[in-house]
């Protein structure tokens, strides 16, 4: 049986922590959809087109990864694309409570889909998209936090909005 997984998120922007999870998931599943939520309650800083572009360029060397977007319920989207696994990254115990609730909710909504957690690489355990945006806003270095090609682009997008 082919295993298809979906790795959902806001990816506002994608970080090296996300990319570590994507790479590791691509070694486990036949196909990994990285799915950007488009109707988030949190207003995204970067456009969907920009986020897709950054994710596509960051994963160009991983053939079984596809970048996509979705709105509405994650389990509906997972069923549409034939994914039987939802992948989530866990950084710390503080992520666990919320993710546990989401995993149980998603199982209630669609018992055929399993949520699987990958522990973050400890060198990225502090990293989040919000941290990246805050550092960029305050003029700090994004070195090692996102792919190098994104650094100039993030800084110039953030400057435009300041």
For ligand PNS, the closer of residues 73 and 119 by Cβ is: 73
**H helix runs in 67-115, sequence order:** 74-81, 93-109
Q: Binding to ligand PNS by residue 48, rule CB under 6 A? A: no
Which one is catalytic: 42, 56, 123, 159? 42
Which one is catalytic: 10, 18, 51, 58? 18
Least Å distance, CB 45 to ligand PNS, is 12
Least Å distance, CB 104 to ligand PNS, is 10
Q: Binding to ligand PNS by residue 89, rule CB under 6 A? A: no
Q: Which residues bind ligand PNS (CB under 6 A)?
A: 8-10, 37, 73-74, 102, 105-106
């Amino acid at each position: 049986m082919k295993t298809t997984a979906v790795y959902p998120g806001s990816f506002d922007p994608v970080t090296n922590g996300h990319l570590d999870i994507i790479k590791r998931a691509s070694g486990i599943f036949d196909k990994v959809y990285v799915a950007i939520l488009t109707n988030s309650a949190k207003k995204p800083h970067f456009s969907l087109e920009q986020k897709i572009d950054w994710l596509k360029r960051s994963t160009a060397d991983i053939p079984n990864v596809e970048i996509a977007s979705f709105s509405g319920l994650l389990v509906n989207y997972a069923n549409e694309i034939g994914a039987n696994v939802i992948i989530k990254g866990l950084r710390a115990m503080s992520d666990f409570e919320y993710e546990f609730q989401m995993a149980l909710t998603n199982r209630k909504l669609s018992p055929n889909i399993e949520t699987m957690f990958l522990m973050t690489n400890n060198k990225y355990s502090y990293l989040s998209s919000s941290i990246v945006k805050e550092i960029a806003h305050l003029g700090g270095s994004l070195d090692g936090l996102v792919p190098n090609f994104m650094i100039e682009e993030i800084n110039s997008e953030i400057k435009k909005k300041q």
